[in-house]
Structure 1
Amino acid sequence: MADSLKVGLVGAGGIAHPHVAAWQLLGAEVHVFSLDGQAEFAKRYGIAEASELDELIGDCDVIDVCVPTYAHDRVVMDAAAAKRHVVCEKPLSLTHNRAQAMIDACRTAGVQLYPGQVVRYFAQYAAARDAVAAGRIGEPAVLRLSRRGAAPASDWFADPARSGGVLVDQMIHDFDFARWIAGSVASVYAKVIVRGRLATAYVVLTHGSGALSHITGGWGPPSTVFATAFRVSGSRGELSYSSSARSALRWDAPALREGGGMLLPTDFAPPFVAELREFAAAFRGGPAPRVTAEDSLAALDIALAAVQSASSGQPVSPKDVS
């Protein structure tokens, strides 16, 4: 639990809602500062307001950054300068160099920085990782991941200079998951079609192990039902999940005596609660969370390589982005 933590939430937009709800379930005392919607947000959740960002940072133990992506670095840098631990929504920033500077600033200040790569905390995704680590499907060979939802309503998402577009803002979740499952990525090839706010993208990752990840993402019209799915095929079996099917994680292992079946997650906590619970424990000196700022930077590099590939029509190495 986080009952001894005083959390300063920066931002009152869409992603701030699951964050504050999770912190409150964990028992944290939450304060908020936002340039837009602060009073209504504070009233809705019964939390205190700060009149300035500096006031919030000075009064709290942990700063939770939920502002638009283009404003992340300033808040993280200010929090690090004040020696406050930080939670920052994904993506950390819009460039490798800025994200690295944020990580370096927190390390130099002696504070912890954790990224909001919440898909690692969704029960089926976490169970898939556990199954792969336990060798249930052998060596991962081919991953097929998909994610689609309605295009975000806020104008800044439609501006790649402020959000990074669908590759950086949305698909970074699956880039991170693919790397978590199949290891480091050597090259990225991407195709993207954008029509106003709508976008569809297809990305192929070639992992250092030789595994391939085929990833599709998209922002659709307002009627689009949010859905995710994955299929991980290995040398001895396969894992699959679809949010549309409302089923558990499926394990198929025809080459093994076990034959397969349903794999039950070990943690049924809501994803944001599971995520922030791990971060809170780490802030108190507990075990390191399952995700690090360096993991999020690696996922950002994959996303930036995808942006470059979509522009050039050529594969790009994540090592070549800046």
Structure 2
Amino acid sequence: MKVVVLGCGSMGSVHANAYSRMPDVTLAGVCDTNASLAQRLALQAGTEHYESFEHMMDTVQPDVISVALPTPYHKEYVLKAAERGCHVICEKPIAPTAEDAEEMIQACRKHGVRLFIGHVVRFFPEYSDAAKRARSGAIGNVGVVHAKRIGSHPGDVIPWYADRAASGGVIMDLMIHDIDYMRGLFGDVKSVYALNRTGPSIDYALVTLRFRDHPAIVHLEGHWGYPGPFTTAVEMAGSSGVVRFDSSLSRSLHVQQSAAAAALKAVEVPRSPSYRNPYEVELSHFIACIRSGEEAAVTAEDAKKAVEIAIAAKKSASIGQPVLLEREHGEEQ
């Protein structure tokens, strides 16, 4: 199966290097309008580099394309790839709006290609195991959940992240991982209440989710501008126990350092102490779904729902009131 990667930044590098290690996949090219980025990644991953999407697609005629571009470009290139009959693996969030997401889903359906969205948290073993334990009843009835995802502001490294209209800010770009994970665990969201504070190199959000068919109360914390290392954590409290995970506890030495002092050169990518890279597990799963026709663990429709919840959270933060999500037939909860 021939695969290409569009976008050679942090996530494009993750995708390309993962494909280069898969025995049943040929990484046939990487593409970026920044020639030096494309050349560097191609050399690293052992493939060809291109500066034009059209040239790469015409030359390689791939089976699958990974779209690892900034969010505002997802729709444009997913539609172009679908028109060429190419399956698409696109980084999260699927799109800036639910309307764009739906157009992408319908276009892929029309052209008979699959669309997968990289909500990789579902593939991190720590999160997967926590979800299994919660579902199994190991901690009784889950009542309260707190999750956090904090790190330096990517806008200090790559300017488009600082443009909230483009990136969607910390809620749409970072917290959406936890939004998708919690919806996958507890079902559709009934209401959202959010607080959001922003400033130079700071974007902090606290979001509370209530669910239609589950009594759990979920609190999500996201922070761009945290002076320490990138950290993720989740704690689920049930009627007979607690499940906790904190990525910072897997390190024996803790050094807090400001982003400026750290002199970051790229956007931070979450890591896992597991033997298998979760990104590689995710991409291998998507490739297997293309081969078998099976439904993915996280679908494009799931990704669209996550965007709807993120948008509701941003609205709640702006008006200072909870936002009720609508049922599919339009009735409010």
SS in 1 for 2:323: coil
Bigger shift: 43-52 or 103-112? 43-52
Matched, 1:96 2:94: no
Q: Match of 2:238, as an amino acid?
A: G
Q: CA deviation at 1:276?
A: 0.6
Match in the other structure for 2:300: 293
Work out the CA distance in 1 between the residues paired with 2:177 and 2:42.
29
Work out the CA distance in 1 between the residues paired with 2:46 and 2:325.
43
Matched, 1:25 2:21: yes
Bigger shift: 169-178 or 279-288? 279-288
The answer (yes or no) to whether the contact 1:121–1:274 under 8 Å persists in 2 is yes
Match in the other structure for 1:212: 217
Match in the other structure for 1:57: 57
Q: Match of 1:207, as an amino acid?
A: F
SS in 1 for 2:197: strand
Work out the CA distance in 2 between the residues paired with 1:65 and 1:220.
27
- 1:150 corresponds to which of 142, 149, 152: 152
Work out the CA distance in 2 between the residues paired with 1:212 and 1:239.
15
Bigger shift: 285-294 or 192-201? 285-294
The answer (yes or no) to whether the contact 2:195–2:205 under 8 Å persists in 1 is yes
Which consecutive residues of structure 1, in runs of 5 or more, have no partner in the other structure? 248-264
SS in 2 for 1:115: strand
Work out the CA distance in 1 between the residues paired with 2:44 and 2:234.
36
1:230-245 correspondence to structure 2 within 5 Å: 230-245=234-249
Q: Match of 1:279, as an amino acid?
A: F
Work out the CA distance in 1 between the residues paired with 2:313 and 2:9.
27
The answer (yes or no) to whether the contact 1:57–1:84 under 8 Å persists in 2 is no
The answer (yes or no) to whether the contact 1:147–1:217 under 8 Å persists in 2 is yes
The answer (yes or no) to whether the contact 1:129–1:180 under 8 Å persists in 2 is no
Bigger shift: 113-122 or 286-295? 286-295
Work out the CA distance in 2 between the residues paired with 1:314 and 1:123.
35
- 2:229 corresponds to which of 225, 228, 239: 225
1:145-294 correspondence to structure 2 within 5 Å: 145-152=147-154, 153-208=157-212, 209-220=214-225, 223-246=227-250, 268-285=275-292, 287-294=294-301
Bigger shift: 109-118 or 29-38? 29-38
SS in 2 for 1:180: helix
Q: Match of 2:215, as an amino acid?
A: G
Q: CA deviation at 1:286?
A: 5.4
The answer (yes or no) to whether the contact 2:234–2:245 under 8 Å persists in 1 is yes
Q: CA deviation at 1:317?
A: 2.8
Q: CA deviation at 1:51?
A: 4.6
- TM-score for the superposition, normalised by structure 2: 0.85
Which consecutive residues of structure 2, in runs of 5 or more, have no partner in the other structure? 252-271, 328-333
For residues 254-277 of structure 1, give each alpha carbon's deviation from its aligned partner in whole angstroms, at most 9, with x where no partner exists. xxxxxxxxxxx9x84211011011
Work out the CA distance in 1 between the residues paired with 2:18 and 2:56.
19
The answer (yes or no) to whether the contact 1:192–1:202 under 8 Å persists in 2 is yes
Q: CA deviation at 1:111?
A: 1.0
- TM-score for the superposition, normalised by structure 1: 0.88
**Total equivalences in the alignment:** 298
The answer (yes or no) to whether the contact 2:16–2:30 under 8 Å persists in 1 is no
